[in-house]
Each structure stands twice: as structure tokens, then as C-alpha cells.
Chain A
Amino acid sequence: SQELEQSPQSLIVQEGKNLTINCTSSKTLYGLYWYKQKYGEGLIFLMMLQKGGEEKSHEKITAKLDEKKQQSSLHITASQPSHAGIYLCGADKEYSGGGADGLTFGKGTHLIIQP
């Protein structure tokens, strides 16, 4: 079965600094999704990537999917306290070929922003 490994598990960054979170798959990714979760709350959709080499940005957050479609990175520029939370990557099941069914998630990266 497909597994997603996120690194680092936790990250403490001074406000204003840049940071990168990685998500690595054991198998080819058909669809890769980034979510943010505040502690004890639901997930907020950030971005979806499907094509090798694809890159998307929203405000100060940029996500990329590598050419081989087995690794994705999430980069935050000039971090702010509002960026604090848990970042989760999720992937379409391999056998669905990108179909709309349940996602497989990594364990998440806990991001703390120090003022």
C-alpha cells in the first residue's frame, strides 16, 4: 500500500523566516494534496498537484511536485504567526489512477512560528 512520509515531523521557525516541508511517497503519486490543520479542528484545503514538475502558489505558500511524481515540497516565504499549525499531505490511492475516492495522508508536520 502507498505510504506518505513527511519531514520534518516538527519545525520551529522564527517569524519572517522561510521554511520547507517535504512529503515523499513510496509509489508514484497520481494526485497530491496539501492541507493545513489547526489543533483540534478540521483540515483546510491548500493546493492540489497532479502533473510532474507542477508548481502552484497561493499568497506566501508554494507547492511543487517533482518530475518523477514521488515527492512534493511546500515552501512558505516570510513566515507569519498565522502559518502555525499542522501541514498534511494527502494522495489519491494508487489504484484509483486519480479517481475521486479516499485519500491517504502522511502524519503531518507541526509548524510553530516564534515571534
Chain B
Amino acid sequence: DTGVSQDPRHKITKRGQNVTFRCDPISEHNRLYWYRQTLGQGPEFLTYFQNEAQLEKSRLLSDRFSAERPKGSFSTLEIQRTEQGDSAMYLCASSLGDYNEQFFGPGTRLTVL
């Protein structure tokens, strides 16, 4: 499968715990995006990378959130001290070059108890 993959697909955690999600983009894609989607809403942009550089962060990305793309390939999104309001689907997408056709992964569903 050469699409965008995300791991894990589901994560249940207790409030206050840290969680980390991984995204593997389509191999030749240089841009990688993170979005958050809550029930009944469209995806909300969190941050994006061009190669290993993080170029934009949404104001939704509080200090508890951090994202990395160390070698310009896979990316991780970490949430520290999770809160119930962090429960959502976290989506990763990738795109190539100047084109903004973003291809999405299956998402990681986070439930914070």
C-alpha cells in the first residue's frame, strides 16, 4: 500500500497521560499536514511541514502539542498532559510540490477518559 498510513488507529488514554501518533506520508511527497476532526465538524488544520521544516502552526496547537518530522519522511504528533477536550480524530495528509491536492491517511481516533 503506497498511501498515507497512521499509527495507531485507535488510542484510549487517561486524562493527564502523554500520547504520540505517527504518520507515514506517500513516499515522494515533501509536504505533510496534521488536522484534528471532532464529531460533526470538518477537519481543522493544526500544522504542516515542508520536508523537515515546520512552516505553520495553527493557534489550535497549544503548548501541550508538538510535532516533528526529523528526516523529512515520517512525522510524529505528541500531546502532553491530555485533556478530555483532546478527544478527536487526528488526521495526517501529504502533498507534492506546489500542488495542494492533499491525500489523507485513515486517522488516529483518540479518546481521553
> Contact residues of A with B, CB < 8 Å?
4, 31, 33, 35, 40-45, 48, 88, 90, 92, 98-108
B25 within 8 A of A: no
Does the CB pair A103–B45 fall under 8 Å?
yes
* Interface membership of chain B positions 85-113, coded 1 if the CB is closer than 8 angstroms to chain A and 0 otherwise: 00001010101011111111111010000
Does the CB pair B109–A102 fall under 8 Å?
no
Does the CB pair B48–A102 fall under 8 Å?
yes
Does the CB pair B102–A45 fall under 8 Å?
yes
> Contact residues of B with A, CB < 8 Å?
4, 6, 31, 33, 35, 40-48, 55-56, 58, 89, 91, 93, 95, 97-107, 109
When A and B form their complex, which 6 residue pairs have the shortest distance between CB atoms, in order from nearest?
A105-B42, A102-B45, A43-B104, A42-B104, A100-B100, A42-B106
CA distance A39 to B6 in the complex (A): 17
Given A41-B106, A42-B105, A42-B107, check contact A100 B99 (CB 8 Å).
Answer: yes
CA distance A102 to B36 in the complex (A): 12
CA distance A4 to B101 in the complex (A): 18
Chain A residue, CB-CB nearest to B57: A102
